[in-house]
Structure 1
């Protein structure tokens, strides 16, 4: 019983202590909602203890209960007065002004961002102009012309090597059917034969001993002595193709490839050591970055411009005027500030006046929200 008594007193004390009637009438609705939630919670938490106390301390518990019910009646009375007072409509009017102020702040924020982006774009364009000018100057220099000549010569040598590699491929492919059969009977050169079949160019370039000549000789002998079977028509054609793989031709191709690789290596080193090449690469890399940054800044500017067009402060002001006029029964005029500083100047306080004017006058076309210079 004592435990129930203490629990009930503790809960009741906590309930009463948390009741804080707001001084701002606009907080009344929130206070009422919170009070009703706490009262419901209190009744559920203390129902058992209250029933026990009723048996032993009926008068005391009854008085406490009546006090709480009295508070509940007061709150319900406040609820009714708030409902009839028009505070909800007034608060709705205040919210309209707040939305205008927030939109003005957002508009000014976007305007400032756009100005920053315009400045950034101008700076990036100037940097690109200077960078391109240096690239053009570098291209006309003797060092750059010499570099271009080296790269052109290197490219021509690579083309010559590709032609020789193509010739190697044709040479091996012309004997491929017979070479495939020969690889099965030539135990000594089986692997090398297969390498030539699957990667002729690479195998030729690694064939420092020119073993291809021995393979061609062995293949010819195998066809001649019929240890490698081919039809007569194919036999004659295959022998003719094998004869094309002569020592002179193979040696010439091998030498030309070696000479080309030596020259390419030398040219590559000269190109790599070129200071003008390194500088041009730096300028080109910088150009690509500036180009990317410029594209990003332009995209952000377009997004900001669209966001600015979506802010219709004029319409918000027009709607607020109509709403406040309905609440007050008077004509309400709102003048939109032309700058961020003006938008911060006491507009919220003006709405508390009897005529609900944010300031004075009326001007609400959409162009107020998006000025001529911000389109």
Structure 2
């Protein structure tokens, strides 16, 4: 068996493999393309010449049709008009078809042109059918030679299309496109690698800057000046809350006595009482002499005398609240409010003028921007890295080698 295997192998044709660098593929294909273009060009030129000659004959035949006279002079005038109208349409549409026969300069565009013309001819055939039949009735010989010319042009175009499609030119063009894509992908991969290296260095540098700023912020927050700042913030919040509570007590007290104050205002038409009903705090701040205490004394007397009537439960609550809201209460309220507002203003000013907080704010803003930039660069890095890992150039090259075998029957090894 081994001996016969040897004989069998010795009779097998040796398969030649051509090795090409990827950068040489396009040049190799261009040479192949040049050879094929030369061979195909001769065939194409011959067919184009035949088409041009047939077009000349067609133009002469159209001119003969245009000048043809009716043999039967007894034809009705209406029939003559129909004939003449269709003759003009027939000649015009045929000339329009001829005008569309302009061969492209590049051979690669010629195939598409033959396909387009094939569609044009189909449309022409449908559009000219009626007029052609009428021409055959009146000028049968001249219409027939025109039809023969058009069929000959159609046949020549089909031959041209077949010659181009059966050549390897378009296969080579496809291979050139594929090799160009691979070269671009290699270039893109290299660019991405370079960008990846740059991003990696930027991420490391920016990461160090973020760490430095985080350490600086942590150090700032350990200093006495920062502790003082946080204490001032707490004091400010406390003063704000105390002020809110103080003013809430005043509003609550006035809501308790509101029924009695409304009745008093209706009876007396007192403008100050009306102001206190609308805005107790605002009215108190404008009431320099604290005349409200006099009004409250008058309300108490009116309730006792029965001039202002209230339900017993409400009457007791109103009277209790009115005894609390005396002149001393308002003096203490205003004094406390002034004190709280002064403390709040002073603390706020100290906070705003704090040098450490200004430095800290700037540092935290800078840190925020650096972190955002770092996140963006890391996302870009991951995306590029994934793109590089996904791009399998060996598969693309193998695919191109297979295409060489399939399209050109060439065994090529691309390195």
- TM-score normalised by L of structure 1: 0.67
* Residue equivalent to 1:19: 103
- Pairing of 1:87-98 with structure 2 (within 5 A): 91-98=173-180
The correspondence of residues 258-269 of structure 1 with structure 2, limited to 5 A, is 258-269=338-349
CA distance in 2, matches of 1:211, 1:33: 104
- Aligned counterpart, 1:298: 378
The whole-number CA distance in structure 2 between the counterparts of 1:117 and 1:194 is 68
**2:251 matched residue in structure 1:** 169
Q: 1:116 to 1:28 in 2, by over 3 A?
A: farther
Can you give the 5+ residue segments of structure 1 that lack an aligned partner in the other structure? Answer: 330-353, 361-375
Residue aligning to 2:411? 355
Moved more, 218-227 or 86-95: 86-95
Contact persistence 2:276–2:283 (CA under 8 A): no
- 8 A Cα contact 1:193 1:215, kept in partner: no
- 1:44, CA displacement in angstroms? 9.8
Taking structure 1 as reference, are residues 43 and 182 closer, same or farther at Cα in structure 2, changes over 3 Å only? farther
1:243 offset after TM fit, Å?
A: 0.8
Residue 348 of structure 1 corresponds to: none
Partner of 1:100: 182
Relative to structure 1, the CA distance from residue 209 to residue 99 in structure 2 (aligned partners, 3 Å threshold; closer, same or farther) is farther
Q: Which has the larger radius of gyration?
A: 2
Q: 1:193 to 1:165 in 2, by over 3 A?
A: closer
Q: 1:195 aligns with which of 249, 274, 278?
A: 278
Of the candidates 281, 296, 303, which is equivalent to residue 216 of structure 1? 296
Residue number in structure 2 paired with 1:226: 306
Distance 1:90 1:215, change over 3 A: farther
What is the 5 A alignment of 1:355-374?
Answer: 355-357=411-413, 359-360=414-415
Task: Give the CA deviation at 1:355.
Answer: 2.8
Alignment of 1:327-338 (within 5 A): 327-329=407-409
2:217 equivalent among 121, 135, 140: 135
Structure 2 residue aligned with 1:287, among 367, 374, 385? 367
Q: Does 1:32 align with 2:88?
A: no
CA-to-aligned-CA distance 1:22-68 (integer Å, 9 cap, x gap): 345xx4433423444666789999999999x9999x98x99998777
Instruction: From 215, 219, 238, give the equivalent of 1:156.
Output: 238
How far is the alpha carbon of 1:294 from its aligned partner? 2.3
TM-score by length of 2: 0.61
Q: Which has the higher contact order (CA 8 A, sep 6+)?
A: 2
Residue segments in structure 2 that go unaligned for 5+ positions in a row: 1-65, 68-87
Q: How far apart, in 1, do the equivalents of 2:104 and 2:110 lie?
A: 11
C-alpha displacement of 1:104: 3.4
8 Å contact kept, 1:22–1:31: no
> Is contact 1:184–1:190 with CA below 8 Å preserved after alignment?
no
